[in-house]
Amino acid sequence: MTGARVPLADQDAAGWMVGRDGFDPGRMGHRETVFTIGNGNLSLRGTFEEGHPQETAGSFMHRVWDDLDVHATELANLPRWWGLDLWLDDRRVRYEDAAGGRRTLDLRTGLLRRAFDWPVAAGADLKVRHERFISLVEPYGAMLRTTVELTAGVADLRVRVGASVHVENTGRLHWRLVGQSAGEDGVTLVAVTRGTGIPIGVVVRPRLSASADLTPGDADGQPALDYRLTLRAGEPVEIIRSVGIVPAIDTAVPLNAAREVSDRLDTMGWSAALTASSEAWAQVWADCDVEIDGDPEAQLSVRYNLFQLNAAAPRFTEDASIGAKTLSGYGYRHHVFWDTESFMLPVFTFTQPDVARNMLAYRCRRLAGARAKAAAAGRSGAQFPWESAGTGAEVTPPWIEAAAGSGARMRVWSGDLEVHITADIALAVVQYWTVTGDDAFVRDQGAEVILDGARFWASLARADADGSFHLRDVVGPDEYHEHVDDNAYTNLLAAWHLRTADRVLAWLERTAPERAGRLSADLGIGPEERRRWAQVADHLAPPRIRDRVLEQFAGYFDRDDVDAARLRNPARQLSMQVLLGAEGVQRTQTVKQPDVLMLAFQLPDLFDAESLAANYHYYDPRTDHEQGSSLGPAVSSVIAARAGDPAAAYAQFLRAARADLDDVRGNASDGIHGASAGGLWQAVVLGFAGLRITDDGWTVEPRLPATWQRLRFAFRLRGVRQIVELRNDH
């Protein structure tokens, strides 16, 4: 095995194309998720241009939140800008009536293509090709191209291009129509969100390669242009649409702004606009690509997951972050969880620090929401919400329906008790600082998050008579166990957070005394508060340790051992929580995801090699890998690699790699598993390559899977590009 730093080479298309054949009604939602494209601001699921009655169509834009009630805030599915319908001799052309057909997503450029042959008559087909991309250089712009060609004969072609306000978020409506038009230069639509009152302007500007009779349509909410022409064999017709869709957030007259975007794209034309976007994607890939030789599935899936993270990562704003299901579906209503900082953010911290800074700034700019949450619970400082959306207020639903249609409600405790997210965010700031050296960000924004978070921990911890401090009635990363005391992960992260805050404030006093003084005054941090931090950090109940194994929470070791036969039964289709019941599973040591191992993932220096191995061997067999949290496998992979269990590391890696492409959990139609996608990169870079940042640089400790001949990736350390190339020299 060798490690070397050489420039990234070009790749052939083989490792870059995600393809799926034919129309599969049973996998429609899954494939809509898989074929999501986006530019870090605007996204579009792999929904058909012509729609489908069973579709779960979706196009989302950062910051375009709307409320139903306060816990149901979500990004509003945008007015339909991608619709195009074809009729041949008055028969409507639909994908499901075609013979075969194939969809391909080119990860290099974000170009999605769907091509199929639609039977016209004996010996004649209509060849249809739909292509689309969302421009990486136009935050509010996209283009679509449709090409149709008859293989024989002549027929009347009708093409309908339009926009529509008749869209939904899985049965809920977010838009009210304001205005619409349809004319030779395109269709326009203005709508406004019902709850938040955000107007949006849509312009769809079509261009046909042939002359056609044009009829505008003005059905309410559905402005359209109808083109009719005679199609002859061998004379293909191309319809190119340039789309601008702009909310009134950064602009006052969104329709004008949308018009400018669509005009710009129309003037450039398809090829030039696609080239400009592709060049921007090439830069993204130069920054973050991972090359794996010898394992095509690993190669494609790592790139696919990176593509989806980049499609959603807020590239153009500090007021958005990546939701649990990225920008690709309706799951968790686009809310931002710890998934973002602990699983997805490291990808950007290491490869695209500007994007990482946007994501952290999203949190920093929502300190008011975090303070309101702390204050509402009678605590000091800033407690970040378990689920965060537009305003930064807590938006975790306190109750959810236990199972669809059951009528039974289930209390969701995470918004109340899963407090560790405040330390997770502080840790993400410090990781970002360590990797980038971005002192200015920490001074101007990050420090305040860390310091006010420390105040929260100091006010949350309760002292016992013996001088020990405790965090009681919490939920740790393992959500199978609720209402636990002194969760090891939470306590040790909180102690780390308190000590770090003191160090950050000392650093600030040294390097930016004025800022330090103002922050201390604003937050009310005096010597007494800092003594309290130290006191709580030093006396926050440490976990019981048995044979080097940390007890996950007080009393965990006393719970019933797991039913290994049941847990490891390969035929099991339900989570252990469903099988044993929410209360039943709590009585056992079964964990939804590795909780103590997550601590080793977050604060690796707390564990020496023997301790890591002991904890791995204890907790891994107690984890519901298959039906527990989708956050688990990537972490398990990293820890298994470090603990010297390469077969398990690779098996867990594959589980994460397949989460969305193969829909192993059956819920990919809800959207990309963002944490799994981010964890996958970490499994490769921190697990198999064993990358570690040191005081004076970085080291790797490669443990490549046996089939991997070569692994190569790039990252940035304090502004300087680093290339890592590892080879397996068996």
The answer to whether residues 709 and 294 touch, using CB atoms and an 8 Å cutoff, is yes
Among residues 158 and 470, whose Cβ is nearest to a copy of itself? 158
Among residues 271 and 406, whose Cβ is nearest to a copy of itself? 406
Closest approach, Cβ 607 to a copy of itself, in A, equals 41
Among residues 178 and 717, whose Cβ is nearest to a copy of itself? 178
The answer to whether residues 674 and 344 touch, using CB atoms and an 8 Å cutoff, is yes
Among residues 78 and 488, whose Cβ is nearest to a copy of itself? 78
**Which of 577, 682, 556 lies closest to 619 in space, CA to CA?**
556
Joined tokens for residue 182: 């349809």
Joined tokens for residue 698: 């970085």
Look at the alpha carbons of 375, 378, 384, 390 in this order and tell me if their dihedral is positive or negative.
negative
Closest approach, Cβ 26 to a copy of itself, in A, equals 18
User: What angle (nearest 5°) sits at the alpha carbon of residue 546, between those of residues 540 and 549?
Assistant: 80
Closest approach, Cβ 171 to a copy of itself, in A, equals 5
The 84-88 sheet, strands edge to edge: 91-92, 84-88, 154-162, 222-232, 213-219
C-alpha–C-alpha distance, residues 366 and 391, integer Å: 7
DSSP notation for 32-91: HHHT-EE-SSBEE-S--TT--TT------BTT-EE-SSGGG-EEPPPPB-S-EEEEETTE
The bridge status of strand 469-470 relative to strand 37-38 is: unpaired
Closest approach, Cβ 126 to a copy of itself, in A, equals 20
Closest approach, Cβ 409 to a copy of itself, in A, equals 6
Joined tokens for residue 351: 């490869």
Closest approach, Cβ 57 to a copy of itself, in A, equals 12
Closest approach, Cβ 405 to a copy of itself, in A, equals 6
Closest approach, Cβ 224 to a copy of itself, in A, equals 7
Among residues 38 and 221, whose Cβ is nearest to a copy of itself? 221
Closest approach, Cβ 269 to a copy of itself, in A, equals 30
Among residues 414 and 629, whose Cβ is nearest to a copy of itself? 414
Among residues 219 and 286, whose Cβ is nearest to a copy of itself? 219
The answer to whether residues 698 and 718 touch, using CB atoms and an 8 Å cutoff, is no
R_g over Cα of the chain: 27
Closest approach, Cβ 217 to a copy of itself, in A, equals 6
Q: How many secondary structure helices (H) and strands (E) does the chain include?
A: 22, 30
Residue 406: CB atoms within 10 A of its CB come to 9
Beta bridge partners of 201: 190, 246
Closest approach, Cβ 538 to a copy of itself, in A, equals 38
Closest approach, Cβ 381 to a copy of itself, in A, equals 22
Among residues 220 and 558, whose Cβ is nearest to a copy of itself? 220
Among residues 227 and 688, whose Cβ is nearest to a copy of itself? 227
Closest approach, Cβ 87 to a copy of itself, in A, equals 10
Among residues 174 and 470, whose Cβ is nearest to a copy of itself? 174
Among residues 85 and 250, whose Cβ is nearest to a copy of itself? 85
Joined tokens for residue 502: 């003191």
Give 211-214's long-range contacts (Cβ < 8 A, gap of 24+): 212/159, 214/184
Length of the chain: 730
Closest approach, Cβ 459 to a copy of itself, in A, equals 23
Among residues 83 and 632, whose Cβ is nearest to a copy of itself? 83
Which residues make up the interface to a copy of itself (CB under 8 A)? 51, 53, 67-71, 164, 166, 168, 171-173, 176-178, 194, 217, 219-222, 224, 398-399, 401, 404-407, 409
Look at the alpha carbons of 678, 684, 690, 692 in this order and tell me if their dihedral is positive or negative.
negative
C-alpha–C-alpha distance, residues 339 and 331, integer Å: 14
DSSP notation for 359-403: HHHHHHTTHHHHHHHHHHTT--S----SSB-SS-S----SEEESS
C-alpha–C-alpha distance, residues 81 and 358, integer Å: 27
Torsion angle defined by CA atoms of residues 552, 553, 555 and 558, in that order, rounded to the nearest 10 degrees: -20
Among residues 172 and 539, whose Cβ is nearest to a copy of itself? 172
Identify the DSSP state of 446.
Answer: I
Closest approach, Cβ 102 to a copy of itself, in A, equals 26
Among residues 68 and 700, whose Cβ is nearest to a copy of itself? 68
Closest approach, Cβ 517 to a copy of itself, in A, equals 37
Closest approach, Cβ 66 to a copy of itself, in A, equals 10
Which amino acid, residue 484?
A: V
Among residues 168 and 297, whose Cβ is nearest to a copy of itself? 168
First CA to last CA distance, the chain: 8
Among residues 5 and 166, whose Cβ is nearest to a copy of itself? 166
C-alpha–C-alpha distance, residues 306 and 80, integer Å: 27
The answer to whether residues 653 and 634 touch, using CB atoms and an 8 Å cutoff, is yes
Look at the alpha carbons of 462, 464, 467, 471 in this order and tell me if their dihedral is positive or negative.
negative
Torsion angle defined by CA atoms of residues 275, 280, 282 and 287, in that order, rounded to the nearest 10 degrees: 180
Give how far the C-alpha of residue 124 lies from the chain's centroid of Cα atoms, to the nearest Å: 44
Among residues 248 and 700, whose Cβ is nearest to a copy of itself? 248
C-alpha–C-alpha distance, residues 420 and 50, integer Å: 45
Strand intervals (E) in 438-555: 462-463, 469-470, 545-546, 549-550
